[in-house]
Structure formats: structure tokens, C-alpha cells
């Protein structure tokens, strides 16, 4: 009982995090290739629609294999692999801290792969392999901004929101860190890098910002005009709409723009590690990297797509990521977030 005292006030948060980790509830599921061929089980956060060209290309090249692709949220994926012993061959997630924890806790198998050009910071040992670099951007609706200037930095954004509270009230969107693993991770990064972030959080709270589970929903809301600005959106989701939607403005802030690494690992209990290795090898190969860089807007392996812009800050895959998963740290950060966002 004494333990409860230490976690006082955090219990609600912990419960809400644990509550989601009951059973895997796939957001989408699809089989690529012939249903008769042996299937490689892939559990991934990546939007099925965004990833299907790559997976289709793989099964086209390997007619003797098929892929069962299961899409779920990053916290669900982590819980499924870490606590529930779910059996998958390849686990793909953008929640770098959770992926790192899986590998650190010994749940990722070593995979022998020779990948030319993969940066050191995009892999951990031979267990965690970065497969995509995903810039995290802010999206804005041109129509909603009207004649206001397009913000170039977070400071500009804070000023913009402060000066036009009526225009943006209830029309600012952000990740809900309680629900989204990526959302929490990005807030932790913002907290670490910039003091100004909490001012932004407070401004967003004052404007009754709406919180979402995923990038996709934010984009939908934005496109439908119910939202003017979406903060911290994974760029690859926006990429599908941007070319044919002139209203969508993508802002890569000049003070800093994070790029998270979407990474893949083969669990130690994978039923088909050989298939997983083969698929992973393909994902890191030149043709697949070109397809991935096409949707992410930036190349992970130099030469396969557009080079990163100077303000882009890739987050390294290393043991430092473990601190974000710490219970006390998470609790402290989330309580601060709630204090900033939920104002009386």
C-alpha cells in the first residue's frame, strides 16, 4: 500500500496506459500475395494505405511468399510483444522508445544483414533497424490562416495563436500523449530540446486544443475544415494528400524539426525469422527505400530520395531512449502536460 503513496496522482495515468494494453485490437489488416503461400506476419503502426505499395512490390518480387499485415497503435504493439507474447515475424513502429525497450529487454533477435549506407544512428546492434526517416511537421490550412503570415518557427506559431485567439479557438490539434505512444515520445523530445515548448502547450491549452490518437485523424479533420493547425504530424501521412490539396500547408519549423526513425525488429519468438529477415532486407534495399522516401519526403539512406533539410534533427536509436519509458518520468511529464493543456 505504501507504494501507492509514491504513485499518488499518477495512478490514473498509469491505469489509462495499462488499460489499452489488454488485447491487440487491429486498426486494419490485409494479406498481400497469394493466400496459399506461407505468410510473413507483420505487426506495424504504419498506415496500411501508405505502406501497401512497398508490401505489394515485395510479394510481386517473391511470388512464393505472402504477407499478413496487421496495423495497430504503437502502445498496443508494444504491449502485445512485450507483455502478451504475441507471435509476429516483424514488428515495425515509429515509437522509438518502445522499440528500444523491446530490444533492450532482450525481445529482439539478432539479424545478420549487410546494409550499405544505413547510418550508425539508425540502427542498434543488429537487432533494431531503421527503415524510414519520418519528419514531424506542423500542418496548417491555408484557408484558415487567411491573410495571416505563415509561421516559420515555434515562436512565430505562439505569437500567431496568441494574437488571434478567436480564429484558432478549438481549431488547434495535437497528439494525445496518453493514448499515442508516438505523441508521448514527441512531447518528451520537445520537452528535452526546447523550453519554449511549454509556452506553446499553454497557449494551445488556452485555445482548447483538441487531442487525437493519430496523425491520420488530424489530417482528416484538417481537410474537412474543422481544424486550422495540427501540431506534430508525421509527414508521411500528409504526403498522400498534399499534392492534390492546395489548402494543406506543411510547416517544417526552422528552430528544429524532428525526424523520428521508424524501425523494425524481429522478435525472438518469431515463427518465421528467415522470412522476416528476407522482408527486412528488402525494406532496406534500394527500390524499397525509394518508395519509402517518396512518402516520407526524406531519404534515410543517402541517395534514395530527397536529402534532409538543415533544421531536420533525426533522433538517434540508442540506449538514451530508455529514459522516456520510465514510469516516474512519464508520470511527471504527463502531469505537466495536463497542467498545461487542461485549464480551468
Partner 1 sequence: MMRGLLDPTRIVSLRRRLVWQFLLLSAVLVLGLFLVVGWVAERASRASQDAVLGAAVTAITEGIRSVDEGLELDLPYATFSMLGAMGDERIFYLLTVAGQGVTGYEDLPPPPSPATDMTPVFYGADYRGARLRLASVGRMMLIQNRLQPVTVTLGQTRLGQAAIARDTARSAAWAALGFMLLALPVALLAAQAVLQPIRALADVMGRRGPRDLRPVRHATPRELTPLLRALNGLIARLRAALELAETFIFEAAHRIRTPLSLVRAEAELALAETSDEATRIRLRRMVRAIGESSRSANQILDHAMVMYRTDQYAAARVDLAALAHDGLRAIGPIAEMRDIRITHDIAPCLIEGDERMLEIALRNLLDNAIKYAAPEGHVDLTLTCTDGQACLIVSDDGRGLSDDPAQLIGRFRRGGNVGDTGGSGLGLTIVTEVAHAHRGRFQLKPGQRGGTCALLHLPSA
Residue from 5, 19, 149, 243 touching partner 1 (CB under 8 A): that is 5
Q: All 3 cell numbers of residue 198?
A: 511549454
Give the whole-angstrom CA distance, residue 297 versus residue 237. Answer: 11
Rounded to 10 degrees, the C-alpha dihedral 39/41/42/43 comes to 150
Nearer to partner 1 by C-beta: 103 or 238? 103
Residue from 10, 37, 148, 179 touching partner 1 (CB under 8 A): that is 10
* DSSP, residue by residue, 37-54: SPEEEEEE-S-HHHHHHH
Give the whole-angstrom CA distance, residue 46 versus residue 41. Answer: 14
Nearer to partner 1 by C-beta: 319 or 342? 319
Tell whether residue 124 is a contact of partner 1 (CB under 8 A).
yes
With CB under 8 A as the rule, give the number of residues binding partner 1.
28
Choices 16-24, 87-95, 164-172, 328-336 (CB under 8 A): range interacting with partner 1: 328-336
Nearer to partner 1 by C-beta: 151 or 314? 314
Q: All 3 cell numbers of residue 41?
A: 506476419
Least CB distance from residue 251 to partner 1, whole Å?
26
Q: All 3 cell numbers of residue 316?
A: 538517434
Nearer to partner 1 by C-beta: 254 or 336? 336
Which residues, at least 6 apart from 309, have a Cβ–Cβ distance to it below 8 Å?
A: 252, 257, 298
Query: By CB under 8 A, what part of segment 255-294 binds partner 1?
Result: none
Give the whole-angstrom CA distance, residue 72 versus residue 80. Answer: 10
Nearer to partner 1 by C-beta: 100 or 161? 100
Tell whether residue 109 is a contact of partner 1 (CB under 8 A).
no
Can you give the binding site for partner 1, defined by CB under 8 A?
2-3, 5-10, 103-106, 124-125, 192, 316, 318-324, 326-329, 332
Amino acid at each position: 500500500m505504501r507504494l501507492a503513496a509514491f504513485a499518488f496522482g499518477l495512478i490514473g495515468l498509469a491505469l489509462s496506459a495499462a488499460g489499452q494494453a489488454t488485447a491487440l485490437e487491429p486498426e486494419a489488416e490485409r494479406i498481400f500475395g497469394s493466400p496459399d503461400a506461407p505468410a510473413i506476419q507483420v505487426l506495424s503502426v504504419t498506415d496500411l494505405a501508405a505502406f501497401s505499395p512497398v508490401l505489394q512490390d515485395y510479394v510481386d518480387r517473391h511470388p512464393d511468399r505472402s504477407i499478413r499485415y496487421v496495423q495497430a497503435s504503437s502502445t498496443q504493439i508494444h504491449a502485445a510483444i512485450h507483455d502478451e507474447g504475441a507471435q509476429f515475424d516483424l514488428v515495425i513502429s515509429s515509437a522509438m522508445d518502445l522499440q528500444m525497450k523491446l530490444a533492450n529487454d532482450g525481445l529482439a533477435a539478432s539479424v545478420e544483414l549487410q546494409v550499405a549506407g544505413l547510418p550508425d544512428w539508425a540502427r542498434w546492434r543488429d537487432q533494431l533497424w531503421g527503415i524510414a526517416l519520418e519528419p514531424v511537421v506542423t500542418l496548417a490550412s491555408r484557408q484558415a490562416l487567411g491573410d495571416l503570415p505563415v509561421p516559420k518557427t515555434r515562436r512565430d506559431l505562439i505569437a500567431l495563436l496568441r494574437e488571434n485567439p478567436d480564429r484558432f479557438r478549438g481549431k488547434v490539434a495535437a497528439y494525445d500523449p496518453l493514448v499515442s505512444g508516438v505523441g508521448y515520445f514527441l512531447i518528451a523530445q520537445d520537452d528535452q530540446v526546447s523550453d519554449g515548448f511549454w509556452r506553446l502547450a499553454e497557449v494551445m491549452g488556452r485555445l482548447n486544443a483538441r487531442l487525437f490518437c493519430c496523425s491520420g485523424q488530424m489530417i482528416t479533420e484538417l481537410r474537412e475544415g474543422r481544424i486550422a493547425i495540427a501540431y506534430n504530424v508525421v509527414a508521411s501521412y500528409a504526403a498522400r494528400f498534399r499534392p492534390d490539396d492546395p489548402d494543406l500547408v506543411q510547416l517544417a519549423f526552422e528552430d528544429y524539426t524532428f525526424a523520428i526513425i521508424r524501425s523494425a525488429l524481429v522478435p525472438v519468438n518469431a515463427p518465421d525469422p528467415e522470412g522476416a529477415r528476407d522482408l527486412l532486407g528488402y525494406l532496406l534495399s534500394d527500390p524499397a527505400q525509394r518508395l519509402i522516401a517518396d512518402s516520407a519526403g526524406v531519404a534515410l539512406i543517402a541517395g534514395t530520395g530527397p536529402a534532409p533539410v538543415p533544421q531536420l534533427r533525426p533522433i538517434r536509436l540508442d540506449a538514451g531512449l530508455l529514459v522516456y519509458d520510465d514510469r516516474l518520468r512519464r508520470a511527471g511529464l504527463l502531469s505537466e502536460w495536463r497542467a498545461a493543456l487542461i485549464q480551468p
